[in-house]
């Protein structure tokens, strides 16, 4: 890329690299590191004709997601982006030279915006949801539900 004076890194990260993700601390840490590395690399290489697009998808519909072998085994209200749609949006982001692309449904996308643009409120929100999200994931429930914020009892 350096010899040609052009190139484009398209990096698959995660929403977990942008916001706190209770129950996924190690995964989140690795994605934060990935985001930091490529943000720095982007700044170092931008004058040399090399672009970087970091894609941060939220939950993706895969056979491996949540340990389920089919989408029918997953909690029905848990909405995930299809692999095909994620790939399509990744190509669009890279083609348009976006520095970063967030791909998700609600409430994940809303949380990403709050954490990005109102970090104090975002951290408060994640603290409020944290223990409930860990419990929901342990019970193979919906770890991405609005109910974690607005409904249900607080975890002990």
Catalytic residues, by residue number, are 27
Angle subtended at Cα 45 by Cα 6 and Cα 16, rounded to the nearest 5 degrees: 110
Token code pair at residue 50: 């090399």
User: Are the beta carbons of 107 and 126 closer than 8 angstroms?
Assistant: no
Give the Cα separation of 112 and 17 in Å (integer): 10
């Amino acid at each position: 890329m350096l010899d040609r004076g052009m190139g484009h890194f398209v990096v698959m990260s995660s929403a977990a690299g942008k916001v706190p993700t209770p129950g996924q601390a190690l995964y989140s840490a690795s994605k934060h590191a990935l985001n930091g590395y490529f943000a720095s690399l982007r700044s170092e290489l931008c004058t040399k004709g090399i672009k970087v697009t970091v894609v941060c998808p939220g939950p993706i519909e895969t056979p491996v997601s949540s340990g389920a072998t089919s989408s029918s085994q997953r909690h029905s209200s848990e909405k995930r982006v299809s692999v095909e749609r994620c790939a399509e949006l990744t190509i669009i982001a890279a083609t348009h030279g976006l520095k970063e692309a967030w791909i998700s449904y609600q409430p994940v996308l809303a949380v990403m915006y709050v954490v990005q643009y109102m970090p104090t409120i975002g951290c408060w929100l994640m603290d409020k949801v944290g223990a409930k999200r860990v419990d929901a994931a342990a019970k193979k429930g919906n770890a991405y539900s609005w109910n974690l914020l607005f409904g249900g009892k607080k975890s002990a």
